[in-house]
Structure 1
Amino acid sequence: MADIIQLLPDNIANQIAAGEVIQRPGSAVKELLENAVDAGATEIRLLVADAGKALVQVIDNGKGMSPADARMAFERHATSKIREIDDLFRIKTMGFRGEALASIAAVAQVEIKTRRQEDELGSFVEIENSLVIKQEPCSTPAGTNISMKNLFFNVPARRNFLKSNAAELRHIIDEFIRVAMAFPHIFFSLTSNGQEVFHLEPGSLKQRIVQVLGNPYNAKLVSVSEQTDYMNIYGFVGKPETARKTRGDQYFFVNNRFIKSAYLNHAVNTAFEGLIAKDSFPGYVIYIELDPAQVDINVHPTKQEIKFEDEKIIYAFVQAAVKHALAQFSIAPSLDFTLNQEIQQLDAVSKPFTTDQKDAAVSSSLYRTFTQKNQAHFIEKENKSELKAWKEFFIQPAQPVTAPVIEETKKWVVIPDTPLLQLHNTYIIASTLSGFILVHQQLAHERILYDRYSTAAHSSKIPTQKSLFPVTLELPAADAALLQDLLPDLQSIGYEVEPFGNNSFVIQGIPADIVPGNEKHAIELLIEQFKHFSSDIKFSKREKLVRCMARQQAIKAGQSLTQQEMLRLVEELFACSSPNATPTGSPTFLEFKEDYLDRMFGK
């Protein structure tokens, strides 16, 4: 019987290996930019065409390569950084495993021109399908100019998995930003289809952050800086007012390498506790420097996930550094032992404590509870008259509104002519024939709006109200690319937005049922929610927008409602096809039946 196990041909093996490293044009951008940084370049230019599918080109003024190195660089595991296994744990450069160029050459047509400063002529190498087609001397500036053309030309199935140009360009911009923010002393530019998207002059770290994230951050950054024998932490966190409802501008760098770490992200979030809303996320750009031996960066093909020797120490340092920064800049809350004028004028402060008042206080059961021994957990049974009439809490002073019977397949019936009660400005209590229901106003409204927007967006179109004074919206490059891609779907949900050049847009109209005046913030929030939309199900762009829109426009917990508003909300909820839950599955209300209530009281 013949042997059946065979070695794969080199070109196929390379293509399979390339799948780990080069998943899309953005992956190649990351690797090529990092190589340029490692080459000691002070100027790095990135040019892309057709969102990187047709061309990704990186031009640097680094040290360049000799003719032999120019060819050897495309061999698998060819690297100048590793000589022995221990070198893996002393890595201070970006690329080191010798996979990137070989992977790119396996799935694209590659041309490279490179010259060292001391050489008169450079080298030109052309590679396709992992094979060197041409190598010859050429005249070229010192440094390296590498072009990756027609990505996945030899793997059509992989090319078909690429997203729209706008989506792929967004990934390219993300990778570009991550490298550019790590090296503010290097000039970077990004040009897409002949139009310059970024032009980042060398400068300080703060200047680079503002260049990338936008001018609004200029006055809203708090400096983080802590130095210890074990590690250094520096960078900036956004002031609490910059916090967003979605994970926005959050960047961690370890030894100048961008990383993703939910663990360290949690450390920053806890440092902001009490300063921002629980459902908000702070912005930050934090750099950590520590001995490379304390970090394993070889645990993931993209090197964006790393392993620390001691995670708990890093967590504690990051949390402490951010807390210290916030406290130093008088952002963290502090105790104020001086009484302001209003408090000083209160009777309790300004007037003396009379003998009668003292006797009354000493004779109270509350005083005895705190002063007698073993009284900490004692609750007095008698003298119930001291308790306030608790029923008053439940009586709604407003005049009741006559409520029609609300039915939903005869299951929930609200008793007519009974007032509705709003609890903590979040929940609505409504009496039913069999008990009562507790409605969460925000989740209920989200279900109502989802049904309304979904019907309109997927069947016809939500009406648009034209703005009397159109608003101009300026966005970071990545967000502008996303918004450009979303314009047709935004139109279906009632927004009329037009490109205005240079990452700017004009909002000409908004959905008819939205109150004008906050359209700029609404679009920005919609983009943020869309970017960080999480679901196990793959939804269309339009469906995602409808869900984001319903979440954004829903009345919030904590908002006071009138009887009329509560009644309308409950009516509209039970007119929905699925009133029980939001589109994401959260319950909109809970039902408390009379027999259940009786059992709770032992009846």
Structure 2
Amino acid sequence: MSDIIQLLPDSVANQIAAGEVVQRPASAVKELLENALDAGGNKIQLILKDAGKALIQVIDNGCGMSVTDARMCFERHATSKVRKAEDLFAIRTMGFRGEAMASIAAIAQVEMKTRRHEDELGTLIEIEGSSVINQEPVATAAGTSICVKNLFYNTPARRNFLKSNPAEMRHIMDEFQRVALANPAIAFTLHHDGIEVFRLPASTLKQRIVHLFGNNYNERLIPVEEETTIINLKGFIGKPEFAKRTRGEQFFFVNNRFIKDAYLNHAVNKAYEELLADDVFPLYVLFIDIDPAKIDVNVHPTKTEIKYLEEKSIYAIIHSAVKRSLGRFNISPTIDFDQETGFSAMITPKPLEDVIPPTISFNPEFNPFAGDQQGSSGESNDRFERKESYGAYASFSKSYGSGGNMAPSAKNWGSLYEIANHATAEQASMDLPGSGKEETFAPLQKQYMQLHNRYIISQIKSGLMVIDQQAAHERILYERFIVHLEDRKGASQQSLFPQTVTLSPNDYELAKSLLDDIKSLGFEVREFGKNTLVIEGIPVDLGSANINETQLFEHLIEGFKNSQQELKLDKRDALARSMARNSAIKNGTSLGQEEMNTLIEQLFACKTPNFSISGKPVIQTIGLTELDKKFDKS
């Protein structure tokens, strides 16, 4: 039997390596930008066509290459950064694995022009599929210009897996932002299809963040700085009130290399744990400077993961530094023995006679068990509102007292079943699909009670029905928006004064890709200059409430990104969920009888009324048997 193991040809080996190094145009952009940084220039240009599918061009004014180096850079495992194995543990440059240029040349048509500053002529090299088709001297500017054309032209299966241009462009902009943040002292420009997307002058880190994400970020940033024997930490974190529901604006850099690290991310989030909800994430751009011998950067093909020798100490340093910055800028509670921030107003000179001591008012004759002897229901309800120590009794009476004609007497408030009977009884049975079993609810009245402005309560034959008002409204709006997206017939109400909304470049590209579907929901939106949209109308489903169109649109985009990240939903479903969550009434909203009637009727008209769009229950029932047990009547 003949031998069957053979060495792969270089062209095939390069295509296999390209599978690791170049997954999409953004991967090639990352590698080319990192090489440009290592060249030592102070100005880098990125030019794209068709989101990098047709053209990726990176131009730098760095050191350039000699004729020999220009040819060698396309060979596998050719690098200027590593000479021996020990060098792997002293790396401070970006591209060092020596596979980027060879991998890109294997699956694209590449043209490179390069010249050293001391040379009169430069070198032109043209490569297709790892084969050099032309090499000659050329007059060119000092530095290097690399054009990558027709990515994956010789691997059509890989090209078919690429996403739409807006989706691929968002990935490219993510990589561009990471490189630009890590190097604020270098000027960057980005052009796409002849349009300038970014022009970033050399600046400070704070200025670079503002240039990338928008002028409104200037007020959102809190500086962080800490120097220890283990690491030096610097950068910025965001104020809690500007936190978002997506993790897109969270950046860690180790020795100026962008990394992803859930462990260190937890250290930052833990510093915010008393300031933010669990599903909200703060902005941070943090730089860790550490001895390269104490980390291993070569543990992942994309070099976005790092191993540390002292990760627990680094965790503690980051957590304490972020916590201290939040406290120093009065974001979280602090104790300052020189001056307590909460007493600042008392230090201001003020005439003593202007200080009015607090007073407590109460009714010494109040008796909660006096029932109808207390007089009118309105007087009784006032006493319940002032007597907060009665807890549920006070809250319940307050909620019911607003109607005037529905105030229960004190002697029967304890049984929700009895209180519900004050309303007119009416039989209305209805089935709830989607619960796994047929369950019939029979509300005995069309007048409902609102509990703590969060839940709607009604009497049914078997006991009580409790409805989460926010989850119910989200379900109603979600199913309505899904229909609008399918039929593309969402009605719009024109705004008296159109509003402009300026988005980050990433969010603007996302909004443009969603524009047709957003209009189907009922929005009237059009493009208006760089990264700016004009909102001329909003969906009629949002009612006549006083709505901030700009905030609504920003939350819509943010919610869409969150839904896609968490549940991997299709575009329309994620958009409908985001719109429903942002438009629904919130817990704490007071509803009148007519509003509650309408909400319940619309809920039971839904296809899946008993589950929220998050998959949680909308309706709960409490049986009479369960109530009897609580009152020890069993």
Give the TM-score category using the shorter length.
0.7 to 0.9
Query: Alignment partner for residue 479 of structure 2, among 432, 451, 457?
Result: 451
Q: Aligned partners of 1:272 and 1:202: how far apart in 2?
A: 32
The residue aligned with 2:457 is: 429
Q: Aligned partners of 1:403 and 1:464: how far apart in 2?
A: 39
Q: Aligned partners of 1:269 and 1:476: how far apart in 2?
A: 23
The residue aligned with 1:525 is: 555
Q: Aligned partners of 1:145 and 1:572: how far apart in 2?
A: 62
The answer to whether residue 430 in structure 2 is matched with residue 407 in structure 1 is yes
Structure 1 residues 390, 579: CA separation in 2 closer, same or farther (over 3 Å shift)? closer
- Please state whether the residue corresponding to 1:533 is helix, strand or coil: helix
State the Cα distance separating 1:313 from its structure 2 match: 1.7
The residue aligned with 1:586 is: 616
Contact 1:46 1:58 in 2 (8 A): yes
Range moving further from structure 2, 565-574 or 94-103:
565-574
Q: Aligned partners of 2:28 and 2:551: how far apart in 1?
A: 34
Aligned residues with identical type, % of pairs:
54
Alignment of 1:451-490 (within 5 A): 451-490=479-518
State the Cα distance separating 1:418 from its structure 2 match: 7.4
State the Cα distance separating 1:296 from its structure 2 match: 2.1
Structure 1 residues 43, 590: CA separation in 2 closer, same or farther (over 3 Å shift)? same
State the Cα distance separating 1:572 from its structure 2 match: 2.2
Structure 1 residues 390, 45: CA separation in 2 closer, same or farther (over 3 Å shift)? closer
State the Cα distance separating 1:236 from its structure 2 match: 1.0
Contact 1:463 1:494 in 2 (8 A): yes
- Please state whether the residue corresponding to 2:538 is helix, strand or coil: strand
- Please state whether the residue corresponding to 1:11 is helix, strand or coil: helix
CA RMSD of aligned residues (A): 2.6
The residue aligned with 2:267 is: 267
Q: Aligned partners of 2:480 and 2:624: how far apart in 1?
A: 33
State the Cα distance separating 1:22 from its structure 2 match: 0.8
The residue aligned with 1:353 is: none
- Please state whether the residue corresponding to 1:522 is helix, strand or coil: helix
Residue type of the alignment partner of 2:523: Y
Residue type of the alignment partner of 1:445: H
The residue aligned with 1:107 is: 107
Alignment of 1:34-53 (within 5 A): 34-53=34-53
State the Cα distance separating 1:308 from its structure 2 match: 2.4
Contact 1:414 1:430 in 2 (8 A): no
Residue type of the alignment partner of 2:128: E
The residue aligned with 2:582 is: 552
The residue aligned with 2:91 is: 91
Q: Aligned partners of 1:223 and 1:31: how far apart in 2?
A: 30
The residue aligned with 1:139 is: 139
Residue type of the alignment partner of 2:453: N
Q: Aligned partners of 1:143 and 1:33: how far apart in 2?
A: 13
The answer to whether residue 351 in structure 2 is matched with residue 346 in structure 1 is no
The residue aligned with 1:308 is: 308
The residue aligned with 1:503 is: 531
Q: Aligned partners of 2:158 and 2:546: how far apart in 1?
A: 45
Query: Alignment partner for residue 572 of structure 1, among 594, 602, 608?
Result: 602
Contact 1:406 1:574 in 2 (8 A): no
Q: Aligned partners of 1:328 and 1:403: how far apart in 2?
A: 60
Residue type of the alignment partner of 2:431: E
TM-score (norm 2): 0.84
Residue type of the alignment partner of 1:104: I
Structure 1 residues 36, 390: CA separation in 2 closer, same or farther (over 3 Å shift)? closer
Q: Aligned partners of 1:494 and 1:594: how far apart in 2?
A: 45
The residue aligned with 1:253 is: 253
Structure 1 residues 466, 141: CA separation in 2 closer, same or farther (over 3 Å shift)? same
Q: Aligned partners of 1:571 and 1:588: how far apart in 2?
A: 14
Contact 1:421 1:429 in 2 (8 A): yes
Contact 1:418 1:431 in 2 (8 A): no
Per-residue Cα deviation, 1:438-485 (whole angstroms, up to 9, x for no partner): 322222221111111112221242101122221112222111111111
Tell me how many residue pairs correspond in the alignment: 566
Q: Aligned partners of 2:315 and 2:611: how far apart in 1?
A: 37
Structure 1 residues 271, 562: CA separation in 2 closer, same or farther (over 3 Å shift)? farther
Residue type of the alignment partner of 2:484: A
The residue aligned with 1:25 is: 25
Contact 1:109 1:149 in 2 (8 A): yes
The residue aligned with 1:374 is: none
Range moving further from structure 2, 153-162 or 578-587:
578-587
What 5-or-longer segments of structure 1 have no aligned partner? 350-386
Contact 1:403 1:567 in 2 (8 A): no
State the Cα distance separating 1:273 from its structure 2 match: 2.8
State the Cα distance separating 1:390 from its structure 2 match: 6.5
| Greater relative CO (CA pairs within 8 A, separation 6+) | 1
State the Cα distance separating 1:496 from its structure 2 match: 1.7
State the Cα distance separating 1:535 from its structure 2 match: 6.0
Residue type of the alignment partner of 1:346: P
State the Cα distance separating 1:4 from its structure 2 match: 4.1
- Please state whether the residue corresponding to 1:79 is helix, strand or coil: coil
Q: Aligned partners of 2:331 and 2:71: how far apart in 1?
A: 55
Residue type of the alignment partner of 1:408: D
Per-residue Cα deviation, 1:529-560 (whole angstroms, up to 9, x for no partner): 22233468654322221121112212223333
- Please state whether the residue corresponding to 1:565 is helix, strand or coil: helix
TM-score (norm 1): 0.88
Q: Aligned partners of 1:485 and 1:190: how far apart in 2?
A: 19
Per-residue Cα deviation, 1:348-398 (whole angstroms, up to 9, x for no partner): 89xxxxxxxxxxxxxxxxxxxxxxxxxxxxxxxxxxxxx969756545334
The residue aligned with 1:562 is: 592
Q: Aligned partners of 1:403 and 1:182: how far apart in 2?
A: 68
State the Cα distance separating 1:182 from its structure 2 match: 0.4
Structure 1 residues 531, 390: CA separation in 2 closer, same or farther (over 3 Å shift)? closer
Contact 1:63 1:142 in 2 (8 A): yes
The residue aligned with 1:221 is: 221
Alignment of 1:68-217 (within 5 A): 68-217=68-217
- Please state whether the residue corresponding to 1:173 is helix, strand or coil: helix
Residue type of the alignment partner of 2:44: I
Alignment of 1:272-283 (within 5 A): 272-283=272-283
Range moving further from structure 2, 238-247 or 395-404:
395-404
Structure 1 residues 565, 412: CA separation in 2 closer, same or farther (over 3 Å shift)? farther
Alignment of 1:338-417 (within 5 A): 338=343, 345-347=357-359, 394-395=396-397, 396-397=400-401, 398=403, 399-400=405-406, 405=428, 407-409=430-432, 411-417=439-445
Structure 1 residues 177, 402: CA separation in 2 closer, same or farther (over 3 Å shift)? farther
The answer to whether residue 293 in structure 2 is matched with residue 293 in structure 1 is yes
Structure 1 residues 465, 98: CA separation in 2 closer, same or farther (over 3 Å shift)? same
Per-residue Cα deviation, 1:123-157 (whole angstroms, up to 9, x for no partner): 11111111111111111111110010000101111
Residue type of the alignment partner of 1:564: E
The residue aligned with 1:381 is: none
Structure 1 residues 519, 391: CA separation in 2 closer, same or farther (over 3 Å shift)? closer
Contact 2:245 2:562 in 1 (8 A): no
